[in-house]
Amino acid sequence: MAQVQRRDREAFTRLLDRHLAGLQKFLIRMTGNGADADEVAQEAFLRIWTRADSWQNDRVRFTTWLFRIARNLAIDRHRRRRETNHEDLEQIVDEAPDTAHTIDAERRRKMMQNAIAQLPERQRTALVLCHFDGMSNPDAAAVLDVSVDALESLLSRARRSLKTALRPLIETRETQPCTTSR
Protein backbone atom coordinates (compact mmCIF):
# COMPACT_ATOMS: atom_id res chain seq x y z
CA MET A 1 0.00 0.00 0.00
CA ALA A 2 2.95 2.30 0.62
CA GLN A 3 3.86 1.86 -3.05
CA VAL A 4 0.30 2.64 -4.09
CA GLN A 5 0.51 5.83 -2.06
CA ARG A 6 3.49 6.74 -4.27
CA ARG A 7 1.20 6.14 -7.32
CA ASP A 8 2.83 2.83 -8.35
CA ARG A 9 0.37 1.28 -10.82
CA GLU A 10 1.98 -2.16 -10.71
CA ALA A 11 1.64 -2.25 -6.93
CA PHE A 12 -2.01 -1.27 -7.29
CA THR A 13 -2.54 -4.10 -9.80
CA ARG A 14 -0.99 -6.58 -7.34
CA LEU A 15 -3.21 -5.23 -4.56
CA LEU A 16 -6.26 -5.58 -6.80
CA ASP A 17 -5.31 -9.13 -7.82
CA ARG A 18 -4.79 -10.13 -4.20
CA HIS A 19 -8.01 -8.72 -2.74
CA LEU A 20 -10.65 -8.48 -5.49
CA ALA A 21 -12.05 -12.02 -5.25
CA GLY A 22 -12.56 -11.88 -1.48
CA LEU A 23 -14.12 -8.43 -1.70
CA GLN A 24 -16.51 -9.55 -4.42
CA LYS A 25 -17.67 -12.53 -2.34
CA PHE A 26 -18.38 -10.18 0.56
CA LEU A 27 -20.21 -7.72 -1.68
CA ILE A 28 -22.34 -10.37 -3.38
CA ARG A 29 -23.59 -11.37 0.06
CA MET A 30 -24.12 -7.73 1.02
CA THR A 31 -25.90 -6.68 -2.17
CA GLY A 32 -27.45 -9.99 -3.21
CA ASN A 33 -26.48 -9.22 -6.78
CA GLY A 34 -23.33 -9.99 -8.75
CA ALA A 35 -23.59 -6.92 -10.98
CA ASP A 36 -24.00 -4.58 -8.01
CA ALA A 37 -21.13 -6.33 -6.23
CA ASP A 38 -18.86 -5.81 -9.25
CA GLU A 39 -19.75 -2.13 -9.49
CA VAL A 40 -19.22 -1.52 -5.77
CA ALA A 41 -15.90 -3.41 -5.87
CA GLN A 42 -14.73 -1.27 -8.78
CA GLU A 43 -15.78 1.88 -6.97
CA ALA A 44 -14.04 0.71 -3.78
CA PHE A 45 -10.75 0.12 -5.58
CA LEU A 46 -11.10 3.45 -7.36
CA ARG A 47 -11.42 5.05 -3.92
CA ILE A 48 -8.34 3.15 -2.76
CA TRP A 49 -6.40 4.60 -5.67
CA THR A 50 -7.72 8.16 -5.39
CA ARG A 51 -7.55 8.33 -1.59
CA ALA A 52 -4.45 6.25 -0.98
CA ASP A 53 -2.91 9.05 1.07
CA SER A 54 -5.66 8.77 3.68
CA TRP A 55 -4.74 5.17 4.61
CA GLN A 56 -2.82 5.05 7.86
CA ASN A 57 -0.78 1.89 8.24
CA ASP A 58 -0.35 2.36 11.97
CA ARG A 59 -4.12 2.64 12.63
CA VAL A 60 -5.83 -0.06 10.56
CA ARG A 61 -5.00 -3.07 8.40
CA PHE A 62 -5.48 -2.60 4.67
CA THR A 63 -8.17 -5.29 4.38
CA THR A 64 -10.15 -3.69 7.19
CA TRP A 65 -9.97 -0.33 5.45
CA LEU A 66 -10.93 -1.85 2.08
CA PHE A 67 -13.93 -3.73 3.50
CA ARG A 68 -15.09 -0.64 5.40
CA ILE A 69 -14.99 1.44 2.22
CA ALA A 70 -16.84 -1.27 0.28
CA ARG A 71 -19.43 -1.69 3.03
CA ASN A 72 -20.15 2.03 3.08
CA LEU A 73 -20.45 2.14 -0.71
CA ALA A 74 -22.84 -0.85 -0.67
CA ILE A 75 -24.98 0.86 1.98
CA ASP A 76 -25.05 4.09 -0.03
CA ARG A 77 -26.03 2.17 -3.16
CA HIS A 78 -28.83 0.39 -1.28
CA ARG A 79 -30.15 3.69 0.11
CA ARG A 80 -30.14 5.35 -3.31
CA ARG A 81 -31.94 2.39 -4.83
CA ARG A 82 -34.52 2.39 -2.04
CA GLU A 83 -35.06 6.13 -2.44
CA THR A 84 -35.72 5.84 -6.17
CA ASN A 85 -38.24 3.09 -5.41
CA HIS A 86 -37.77 1.19 -8.65
CA GLU A 87 -39.57 -2.09 -9.08
CA ASP A 88 -37.34 -5.14 -9.35
CA LEU A 89 -37.13 -6.62 -12.78
CA GLU A 90 -38.88 -9.92 -13.21
CA GLN A 91 -36.50 -12.81 -13.00
CA ILE A 92 -36.11 -14.93 -16.07
CA VAL A 93 -37.27 -18.43 -15.25
CA ASP A 94 -35.49 -21.42 -16.71
CA GLU A 95 -38.28 -23.72 -17.84
CA ALA A 96 -36.04 -26.71 -18.45
CA PRO A 97 -37.11 -29.80 -16.52
CA ASP A 98 -35.53 -29.96 -13.08
CA THR A 99 -35.50 -32.51 -10.30
CA ALA A 100 -37.54 -31.91 -7.18
CA HIS A 101 -34.35 -32.00 -5.13
CA THR A 102 -32.73 -29.20 -7.15
CA ILE A 103 -35.88 -27.10 -6.95
CA ASP A 104 -36.08 -27.64 -3.17
CA ALA A 105 -32.40 -26.77 -2.72
CA GLU A 106 -32.89 -23.58 -4.73
CA ARG A 107 -35.96 -22.70 -2.68
CA ARG A 108 -33.99 -23.16 0.57
CA ARG A 109 -31.09 -21.12 -0.80
CA LYS A 110 -33.42 -18.28 -1.78
CA MET A 111 -35.16 -18.36 1.61
CA MET A 112 -31.78 -18.11 3.32
CA GLN A 113 -30.64 -15.33 0.98
CA ASN A 114 -33.88 -13.39 1.54
CA ALA A 115 -33.68 -13.85 5.31
CA ILE A 116 -30.13 -12.51 5.33
CA ALA A 117 -31.14 -9.60 3.08
CA GLN A 118 -33.91 -8.66 5.54
CA LEU A 119 -31.52 -8.33 8.47
CA PRO A 120 -30.65 -4.82 9.57
CA GLU A 121 -27.55 -3.65 7.73
CA ARG A 122 -25.13 -3.89 10.69
CA GLN A 123 -26.32 -7.39 11.64
CA ARG A 124 -26.07 -8.53 8.00
CA THR A 125 -22.56 -7.11 7.67
CA ALA A 126 -21.41 -8.76 10.91
CA LEU A 127 -22.86 -12.10 9.82
CA VAL A 128 -21.35 -11.95 6.33
CA LEU A 129 -17.92 -10.90 7.57
CA CYS A 130 -17.67 -13.53 10.31
CA HIS A 131 -19.59 -16.51 8.97
CA PHE A 132 -19.19 -16.27 5.22
CA ASP A 133 -15.91 -14.43 4.78
CA GLY A 134 -14.22 -16.02 7.81
CA MET A 135 -13.04 -12.72 9.24
CA SER A 136 -12.04 -12.73 12.90
CA ASN A 137 -14.27 -10.95 15.39
CA PRO A 138 -11.69 -8.21 16.09
CA ASP A 139 -11.22 -7.55 12.35
CA ALA A 140 -14.97 -7.56 11.67
CA ALA A 141 -15.47 -5.22 14.62
CA ALA A 142 -12.90 -2.87 13.09
CA VAL A 143 -14.72 -2.90 9.74
CA LEU A 144 -17.96 -2.02 11.51
CA ASP A 145 -16.18 0.44 13.81
CA VAL A 146 -17.62 -1.19 16.94
CA SER A 147 -16.19 -3.06 19.92
CA VAL A 148 -15.82 -6.85 19.81
CA ASP A 149 -18.62 -7.12 22.42
CA ALA A 150 -20.91 -5.02 20.20
CA LEU A 151 -20.03 -7.23 17.21
CA GLU A 152 -20.88 -10.37 19.17
CA SER A 153 -24.20 -8.79 20.14
CA LEU A 154 -24.92 -8.04 16.48
CA LEU A 155 -24.09 -11.64 15.57
CA SER A 156 -26.34 -12.98 18.32
CA ARG A 157 -29.27 -10.83 17.18
CA ALA A 158 -28.67 -11.80 13.55
CA ARG A 159 -28.71 -15.51 14.41
CA ARG A 160 -31.95 -15.13 16.42
CA SER A 161 -33.58 -13.25 13.56
CA LEU A 162 -32.48 -15.87 11.04
CA LYS A 163 -33.73 -18.68 13.24
CA THR A 164 -37.14 -17.00 13.45
CA ALA A 165 -37.27 -16.19 9.73
CA LEU A 166 -36.19 -19.70 8.74
CA ARG A 167 -38.41 -21.53 11.21
CA PRO A 168 -40.82 -22.66 8.44
CA LEU A 169 -37.90 -24.12 6.52
CA ILE A 170 -36.56 -25.88 9.62
CA GLU A 171 -39.99 -27.25 10.54
CA THR A 172 -40.56 -28.50 6.99
CA ARG A 173 -37.25 -30.34 6.99
CA GLU A 174 -38.00 -31.88 10.41
CA THR A 175 -41.35 -33.28 9.27
CA GLN A 176 -40.05 -34.71 5.98
CA PRO A 177 -38.87 -38.32 6.10
CA CYS A 178 -35.16 -38.87 5.65
CA THR A 179 -34.23 -40.36 2.33
CA THR A 180 -30.94 -42.08 1.75
CA SER A 181 -29.31 -42.96 -1.51
CA ARG A 182 -28.03 -46.45 -2.01
pLDDT tens-digit map of 108-153: 778 888 888 888 989 999 998 998 888 899 989 998 999 999 999 9
**Nearest residue to 123 via CA among 158, 163, 150:** 158
pLDDT score recorded for residue 117: 85
Q: Is the pTM of this model over 0.85?
A: no
Q: What is the dihedral of CA 31, 35, 41, 46, to 10 degrees?
A: -130
Q: Tell me what the pLDDT averaged over the chain comes to.
A: 82
Distance CA(141)–CA(129), nearest Å, equals: 9
Q: Say yes or no to pLDDT of 11 above 60.
A: yes
Average pLDDT of the segment spanning 59-66 = 89
For residue 73, the model assigns a pLDDT of 92
